[in-house]
Amino acid sequence: MNQRSVLITGAGSGIGLATTELLLLAGWHVLATDRDQAALDRLAERLDNKSDRLILRHMDVTDPDAVAKVALECQALTAPLLALVNSAGIGSSVRFADTTPDMLRRIYEINVIGAFALSQALAPVLRDNGGGSIVHIASVSGLKGNMGRSAYGASKGALVTLTKIMAVELADDLIRVNAIAPGPVETPMVADTHTAVTRQEWHRTVPMRRYGTPDEIASAIAFLVDGRQSSYVTGQILAVDGGFTAAGIMA
């Protein structure tokens, strides 16, 4: 009865990696997927085969064949699949005037259509297993008009709305759908995209005056995937952001 599996995308880095480690500790079987094979290899090394509950799979969420193959594998897991965490994503910081339709398409392809397609492929598996939980990783940039986030923020805003629609439509199948909206979190993505000026601005506008850690996001995800803890929570966007979205004037 206690055997349960979760599929995590973007499991090779940042929030997906921290979630993989936390859910393994919590006793889940984890199907950890990423498009970056080297990151998956590092994960295997890091865990040093300490868990026989970890399966690593190379999967690009924009590749329909790879998604279909993994979905098929999910039907046959010995520990039934009860949860999906869509953490794969890319960031960008480009002003509206400089954002091209191609930039928008590229980011939607991964952040929106990737999460959409995998959720659609796995929803029947969750339903047939008696229900489960899907968690999207949105962003505070999908809730507020952060500078430079026209492509990224629009993609995360789409995920926010998709979360609510999926929650409504999948409730009859006992599938709960929620999203986390992280504020700034110290991950490789942020190391790539945040300049010194951006960092200063986050420290100024986040009431807790610091970036979050991947572990702090992972524990919120762990709550949402666990049907014993969050059984009546669906259609919600949980901001894990040091108070950023709650704040008004700061002085």
The set of catalytic residues is 152
Of residues 190-209, those binding ligand NAD (CB under 6 A): 190
The CB-of-211 to ligand NAD minimum distance in angstroms stands at 7
**CA count, 13 A, side-chain hemisphere, 198:** 18
d(CA 190, CA 100): 22
* Piece of the chain touching ligand NAD by CB under 6 A; list 13-21, 23-31, 143-151, 169-177: 13-21
Asked if 34 interacts with ligand NAD (CB under 6 A), we say yes
Q: Which of 6, 23, 84, 137 binds ligand NAD (CB under 6 A)?
A: 137
Q: Which of 103, 174, 189, 233 binds ligand NAD (CB under 6 A)?
A: 189
d(CA 88, CA 98): 25
Let me know: does 190 contact 141? Beta carbons within 8 Å. no
Neighbour count for residue 56 (Cβ, 10 Å): 19
State the sign of the Cα–Cα–Cα–Cα dihedral 70, 75, 77, 79: positive
The CB-of-183 to ligand NAD minimum distance in angstroms stands at 7
Asked if 60 interacts with ligand NAD (CB under 6 A), we say yes
d(CA 44, CA 55): 9
Asked if 157 interacts with ligand NAD (CB under 6 A), we say no
Q: Which of 7, 32, 54, 61 binds ligand NAD (CB under 6 A)?
A: 61
State the sign of the Cα–Cα–Cα–Cα dihedral 239, 118, 114, 12: positive
- Residue 43 makes CB contacts below 8 A (sequence gap 6+) with 11, 12, 17, 20, 32, 56
Asked if 188 interacts with ligand NAD (CB under 6 A), we say yes
Interhelix angle for 14-25 vs 37-47, to 10°?
30
* Piece of the chain touching ligand NAD by CB under 6 A; list 47-55, 58-66, 99-107, 218-226: 58-66
Q: Which of 54, 56, 74, 91 binds ligand NAD (CB under 6 A)?
A: 91
Residues in the interface with ligand NAD (CB under 6 A) total 30
- Residues making contact with ligand NAD (CB under 6 A): 9-10, 12-16, 34-36, 39, 60-62, 87-91, 110, 114, 137, 139, 182, 184-185, 187-190
